[in-house]
Amino acid sequence: MATDLSQTSAPPRRIGVLLCNLGTPDSPEPAAVRRYLAEFLGDRRVVELPRLLWKPILHGIVLVRRPKESAQKYRKVWIEGEGSPLLVYTQRQATMLRGWLGEAGVSDVDVQVGMRYGQPGITTALEQWQRQGIAHMLVVPLYPQYSGTTTASVVDAVNAWCGRQRNIPALRIVRDYATDAGYLRALEHSVTRHWQKHGRPDHLVLSFHGIPQRNVALGDPYAQQCLQTAGLLAQRLNLAPTQYSVTFQSRFGPAKWLQPYTQPTVEALARNGIKTIDVLCPGFASDCLETLEEINMEVRHAFLANGGREFRYIPCLNDDPVWIDALRNIVLTNLAGWRTDGASAHM
């Protein structure tokens, strides 16, 4: 018997917004760190070596030696009673964004968190939304600057999930927001608020996560976007080129990565008579191991050990209301045409 389609009505449109970040171990213990590193460093987007070469190194050397050392570092930054800073702050961002959208009259959007590695995974929210009949999904990688090692890996995970579905939802993905006015305004606010409290430093260091130089040579736009962000922020702060440096941190392995490297740069600044520096990590939406331990502990020690007098770390945007406002506008802009209640981005 034929179905009478004229008697059916479309359900109210609901939209899922997924905030994606890198991920974190479940606990600061070697076993949990090993599981996380196996997934992270097993991603072909992260380590672009032939699998026959890389897998014996990963499982025979890296996953044998590194988990214990990394677990000790995670313990230094773990938030008691809450967990990994990266997950804690990303969850706060999602909660605040959900509330701010509601205050703006946006009632048809659900906001969830999805980590590329570890839990809660990207597919957790996608599968939940599909069961709920949500057929419009916006994926927001919280990487301001696009890279194949980060944003493209999120796209891979989403596409892999889609490849297992018969009824694929309407999908949009925020590619980057390196030059977004709201994002830059939030960075500017963070720095100027810090300076109002502590005074200006002798030098500002803008430290971005590094990637292999080979990736850039093959077409990755990440380095160019980092320089764009830094240049636009410096303009907002009225900084001359001699008053700030752009550096890259978190080098892994023997390959040549983007330079200048952060730690050697701050050591040289100290040896050259710079006594006070501020360090900001604009490429991280949330504080994490790389900012709280590597920068605020290891790099701090290196600067002071080489003659520096005062090292001041400026926290990531985290749950700063100015950043949440910018994030809300990024989301609303990318929901254009999907919205059903007439709300628009706040200008």
Residues within the annotated binding site for Fe(2+)?
209, 290
φ/ψ (deg, to 5) at 13: -75, 125
Whether 346 and 330 have beta carbons less than 8 Å apart is answered as no
DSSP 171: E
From the number of C-beta atoms within 10 Å of its C-beta (0-12, 13-18, 19+), residue 311 rates as buried
Half-sphere exposure of 303 (CA within 13 A, CB side): 27
- Which DSSP string do the residues of 138-170 spell out, in sequence order? EEEES-SS--TTTHHHHHHHHHHHHTT-SSPPE
Structural tokens at position 5:
């389609």
Element (DSSP H or E) covering residue 15: strand 15-23
Half-sphere exposure of 105 (CA within 13 A, CB side): 8
Question: Which of 126, 106, 128 has its CA nearest to residue 116?
Answer: 126
Binding-site sequence positions: 209, 290
